Amino acid sequence: MATTLSPNTSARLAPPASLSPLTVPKRLLLGPGPSNADPRVIAAMNQQPIGHLDAAYLAMMDEVQELLRYTWQTTNPLTYAVAGTGSAAMEATIANAVEPGDRVLVAVKGYFGYRLVDMAQRYGADVVTIHRPWGEAFTLEELTAALKEHRPAVLAIVHAETSTGVRQPLEGLGSACADHDCLLLVDTVTSLGGVPIFLDEWQVDLAYSCSQKGLSCAPGISPFTMSPRAVAKLERRRQPVANWYLDAALLRKYWGPERVYHHTAPVNLTYALREALRLLVEEGLEPRWQRHQQTATYFWQGLADLGLTCHVEESLRLPTLTTVRVPNGVDAKAVGRQLMTDYNIEVGGGLGELGGKVWRIGLMGYNSQPEHVDTLLHALGTVLH
């Protein structure tokens, strides 16, 4: 038997120059995400993978589902983590809830509302939109009037608009949707783990989030949930879900008791998410929401002391993400660059309509601490004066 490869199996391309082992710079991530992960989450992740059908892994999946239900305050049986970032979980809600021709109403008040519009169109929805200026929220009356006018099958709305820093009040919307035979789909990417959410009480039918913000985990694994009403629509579909990878009808056979292989799960990210959610439970949901509110209030006071103003009125301001107005004559990008080069601090610039007009400052999960506020305010004060 030949023990050497034949000559024509030699590599066709020359290897790249050899690199030294990876070193990652230390950053304080105070932008719109990712935030720094809790070191205990990184330690949990930093272990050997096990098989995605190993009994120990299956038990871990059950734990993650239960922890996610608590974090979202829902009893939805169909609650799991999508292998992908928040956008994958976002697409999962649209792919599973929408059939071609369904009317989808998207309430747009920032950048991520438009992403929902784009996705819904790609799945063949008849999309209609309503709008609020970037920095404001919808009233229940506006949303109810739009439900009456457009009669959508799905209403999609962002709870925490990361492009504007606005918290969209959701009380009463779920029952208005149910009255109009419409499913309520909510983006909780920048709220989960940092802002009070009561999915069942608010009668939310589909929701998704991410791991890298309020949950203090690495990016790449994303919470997803469907209410029994949303599952009933899934079961009535005339056509299969157009996205195989995100099809909840297939995935629930892997996450549920049947344990049917679907894909090779990102097992190390599951370790990380389990640890992040375990730490959230250890801290307690209410103390965690309180911590985010206190840290944000302390930050807002510090901004006022520096003569800076927030873009959003206080009653609608997210504790997780603040949009700070860039003073006249200041180059927003140059300030961001200097914070990075001189202080290793990352902040975000404005997106879309707010480009160049605001900085986006995240105080989320592990990073929601007064010491980080002090560090940032000191750096910002020095750079600006």
Which residues of the chain form contacts with ligand PLP (CB under 6 A)?
32-33, 85-87, 90, 112, 158, 162, 187, 189-190, 210, 219
Residue 159: closest CA among 109, 96, 211, 232: 109
The pair phi, psi for residue 83, each rounded to 5°, is -80, 95
Residue 384: closest CA among 323, 315, 324: 324
Taking the complex as a whole, the smallest distance from the CB of residue 20 to ligand PLP amounts, in Å, to: 30
- The C-alpha atoms of residue 151 and residue 155 are separated, in whole angstroms, by 9
Residue 362 in contact with residue 33, Cβ under 8 Å? yes
Residue 321 in contact with residue 32, Cβ under 8 Å? yes
Which residue, 144 or 270, has its beta carbon nearer to ligand PLP?
Answer: 270
Which residue, 85 or 216, has its beta carbon nearer to ligand PLP?
Answer: 85
Is the bond preceding 34 in cis, omega lying within 30 degrees of 0?
yes
β-strand pairing of 183-187 with 154-158: parallel
For ligand PLP, which residue has the nearest CB?
A: 86
Taking the complex as a whole, the smallest distance from the CB of residue 284 to ligand PLP amounts, in Å, to: 25
* Sequence-distant (≥ 6) Cβ neighbours of residue 313 within 8 angstroms: none
Taking the complex as a whole, the smallest distance from the CB of residue 108 to ligand PLP amounts, in Å, to: 12
Which residue, 45 or 158, has its beta carbon nearer to ligand PLP?
Answer: 158
Which residue, 182 or 207, has its beta carbon nearer to ligand PLP?
Answer: 207
Taking the complex as a whole, the smallest distance from the CB of residue 161 to ligand PLP amounts, in Å, to: 6
Taking the complex as a whole, the smallest distance from the CB of residue 18 to ligand PLP amounts, in Å, to: 33
Taking the complex as a whole, the smallest distance from the CB of residue 321 to ligand PLP amounts, in Å, to: 8
Q: Count CB atoms within 10 A of the CB of residue 174.
A: 24
Which residue, 95 or 377, has its beta carbon nearer to ligand PLP?
Answer: 95
Residue 148 in contact with residue 181, Cβ under 8 Å? no
Which residue, 127 or 377, has its beta carbon nearer to ligand PLP?
Answer: 127
Record the tokens describing residue 107, joined without a space: 């309430």
